[in-house]
Structure 1
Amino acid sequence: MPFTRVAIPAGTSPAHKAAIARGVHEAMVAAIGIPEDDFFQLLSEYQPGDFLFDRGFLGLQRSDGLVVVQITLRRGRSDAMKRDLYARIAANLGQAADIRPQDVFVYLNENDFSDWSVGGGRMSMEITMQREADA
């Protein structure tokens, strides 16, 4: 179960926000195999001057439209899956929201299944085990 935070420039329209969220989610479904209904994203706008970054780091030319995608997920995806994820996110955001690939910054935070509680004050692993036992 990934949880995604996306930082976007202030003034991004609701339609572009939805397109960004769907583009990131569709990439995760295709590249790392999450279920379609596993959709939890928090979008935050940043004001000019709130996000400072090097516009030319690693030879890429970034603009004021930089979008940052932070995905927290369980560990275990291969490097090939991660490469595919990054490429799909950049491609989807380009197609859906006209965001340049150079303006898509993605990073992952990996943890274990026991590090999640998705509601009810219960460890997600316990909920999953109970659902499997009840099935």
Structure 2
Amino acid sequence: MPFVRIDLRKGKSPEYRKKLGEIVYDAMIELINVPKDDKFQVITEHDRADLNHADSYLGNHYSDDLVFIQITLNTGRPVELKKAFYTRIVEQYQAQLQGRPDDVVINLVEVAKENWSFGHGIAQYA
């Protein structure tokens, strides 16, 4: 049931964007108990001028390759699981896409199960 939005600077290849989505998807399956095939992602590229962010925050120094990952998911996962999830995404981003760890911002938006419909106007989890 997670819905993933990934926003990044224009200019990355389709393969790069697909790999980034797969990194997030794999981490969801492996670490936060998301079932296989529960994959809903929107990956959007933006002009640099449309990504409005500080140069640095909390000791992180951002480049033009900053990636925003926002995931809407059911509430209830423990903090330690979330921390491991964040770490896995950044580790794989570095390993598979040679990205900088500073350039990954992740936000989880937790909602109640009744806030989802996966077709036919039915609240399948309500």
In the superposition, the TM-score normalised over structure 1's length comes to 0.90
Match for residue 99 of structure 1? 99
RMSD: 0.9
Alignment of 1:98-117 (within 5 A): 98-117=98-117
In 2, the alpha carbon distance for the partners of 1:31 and 1:55 equals: 30
> What count of residue pairs does the alignment treat as equivalent?
126
1:2 maps to a residue whose letter is P
Could you say what secondary structure the match of 1:124 adopts?
coil
In 1, the alpha carbon distance for the partners of 2:96 and 2:41 equals: 17
2:57 maps to a residue whose letter is F
Unaligned 5+ runs, structure 1: 127-135
Instruction: Give the conservation status (yes or no) of the 8 Å contact 2:9–2:51.
Output: no
Match for residue 55 of structure 2? 55
Could you say what secondary structure the match of 1:65 adopts?
coil
Deviation per residue, 1:36-75 (Å, 9 max, x gap): 2111100000101111111211011110000000000000
In 2, the alpha carbon distance for the partners of 1:116 and 1:32 equals: 18
Q: 100-109 or 89-98: which moved more?
A: 89-98
Match for residue 29 of structure 1? 29
Alignment of 1:1-80 (within 5 A): 1-80=1-80
Unaligned 5+ runs, structure 2: none
More helix by share: 1
Instruction: Give the conservation status (yes or no) of the 8 Å contact 1:24–1:93.
Output: no
Could you say what secondary structure the match of 2:61 adopts?
coil
More strand by share: 2
How far apart are 1:12 and its partner, in Å?
1.0
Match for residue 89 of structure 1? 89
Write out the 4+ residue segments of structure 1 that deviate beyond 4 Å after TM superposition.
none
Alignment of 1:119-130 (within 5 A): 119-125=119-125
In 2, the alpha carbon distance for the partners of 1:68 and 1:38 equals: 21
Percent sequence identity is: 35
In the superposition, the TM-score normalised over structure 2's length comes to 0.96
Deviation per residue, 1:56-99 (Å, 9 max, x gap): 11011110000000000000000001001100111111122221
